[in-house]
Structure 1
C-alpha cells in the first residue's frame, strides 16, 4: 500500500469538548429534521440519502457478502457520523465566512492532486476516504473543501487546528447558527470531553508536513 501523509487537522473529541451546548430539537419541534443549523433543516431524508451513498459505495468496493457484513459492523455509527459531518460542514463554513475566508475550486483541485499522488491515484484516494472516513466518492470534493477551509481558518487565526483559538472560532459559529440536534442522533454537551459519537473524525489530517502513516 502507498504511504500517505497527514498533518494536524484531526478534530474529534476536541471539537465536542470545545463546542457550545447543542440542545435536542426533537421531532415535535422540527418534524422530519435530523438537525437545524442556522434555521436551515438537515432533514432525515437528506441524512439517509448520504448514508445510502456510503453504503452503496461500500457494497461496490466489498462485493463479498461476509466481508460486507464486517464492514457494516465496523461502521455501525455511520448515520451519526454522517450527520456530524453535515453539521460541521455548515459550522466551519460560517466560521470561515466570519473571517472573510473564501475557497476557490483551484484550491480544492490542488489539494486533491496532492492527496491522489500520495494515495496512488484517484481511485486510491476515493477508497481511502471511503474506508477510513465514511465519505462516498461523489462527496470527496465537498469534504476536501472542508479541509481547505479548516487549514485557511487556522492560518487566518494564526493558530493550529489543535489549539483553543481554533475551537473557539467553531464554538462561536455554532452559537451564531443555533445548532439544534435531534435527540435520536445523540446530544452534544460542552461539559463532556468525550461521547459515543464524539470519536467522529470530522476534519482529517490531509495537508503536507505531518507524520507518515502506512496503510
Structure 2
C-alpha cells in the first residue's frame, strides 16, 4: 500500500492581491474570494457549509459534538476551496494531470484502509469537516499532491505553492479572516498546509 498524505483540508495557500476591494474599500457584495480573476461567491461557500452541517446533523448523538468542533466552518471551507485551486495551478504549471481512474483508485485505497466507505466518509466528516459530496475533490487533491511531491520532493512544495498563489492573485473577503503571507494560510490556523502521514486516520482533529 503506497503512502498517502494526511487529511489536511482546513488550511489554504493564500497571498493577498487587491481584487476584492472596490473604490470605496468595501468588498464586492456576494464575493467570498477572488482567485485567478474568478469569484468564489458567498452562496457557493455557504452551499458547502450547508452540506457539512446537514451531514453532521445526520450523525445522531455525535452531531452536537461535531458542530461544536467546527465553529469557524465558513473559514475552514473557504480555506479548502482556495487550497484546491492553488493545487490545480501548481499541477498545471508542472504539467501534471489526473485521470478519473486515478481518482477512483485513490478512493478504493482509502476505503480499504478505513474498512469501508461509510467509515471513510465518517472520518472525513470528523477530521476534515467534509460532506460525502465533497469527497471527489479531496481525492483529486490527494492524487495531485502525490504527483507534485514526486516532482519537487517530500516537504518541498511550499515554494511552488507560493509561486502558484502569487500567479492567482488571491484575495479573501476580510470577513473570513486575513492573510499570513509567510505561512501561506488564512486566518489563525495552526496546521501547516501540507503534512505527511501514512494513514488518514492519523490526521489530527481539525486538520
TM-score, length of structure 1 as denominator length? 0.80
- For residue 87 of structure 2, the aligned residue among 84, 92, 117 is 92
Structure 1 distance, partners of 2:77, 2:111, is: 23
Partner deviation per Cα, 1:168-197 (whole Å, 9 max, x = no partner): 111111111100110000011224588754
Question: Which blocks of at least 5 consecutive residues in structure 2 are unaligned?
Answer: none
Pairwise CA distance, 1:44? 0.4
Structure 2 distance, partners of 1:24, 1:175, is: 13
- Indicate how the Cα distance of structure 1 residues 184 and 7 shifts in structure 2: closer, same or farther if over 3 A, else same: same
Q: Confirm whether residue 171 of structure 1 aligns to residue 162 of structure 2.
A: yes
- Indicate how the Cα distance of structure 1 residues 144 and 201 shifts in structure 2: closer, same or farther if over 3 A, else same: farther
For the Cα contact (< 8 Å) 2:185–2:193, is it kept in 1? no
- For residue 36 of structure 2, the aligned residue among 23, 30, 38 is 38
More helix by share: 1
TM-score, length of structure 2 as denominator length? 0.82
Pairwise CA distance, 1:26? 4.9
Question: Which blocks of at least 5 consecutive residues in structure 1 are unaligned?
Answer: none
- For residue 50 of structure 2, the aligned residue among 49, 52, 64 is 52
Equivalent in the alignment of 1:114:
109
Structure 2 distance, partners of 1:13, 1:47, is: 14
Structure 1 distance, partners of 2:134, 2:38, is: 20
RMSD after superposition? 3.2
Pairwise CA distance, 1:68? 2.6
Pairwise CA distance, 1:30? 2.4
* RCO higher in structure (CA 8 A, sep ≥6): 1
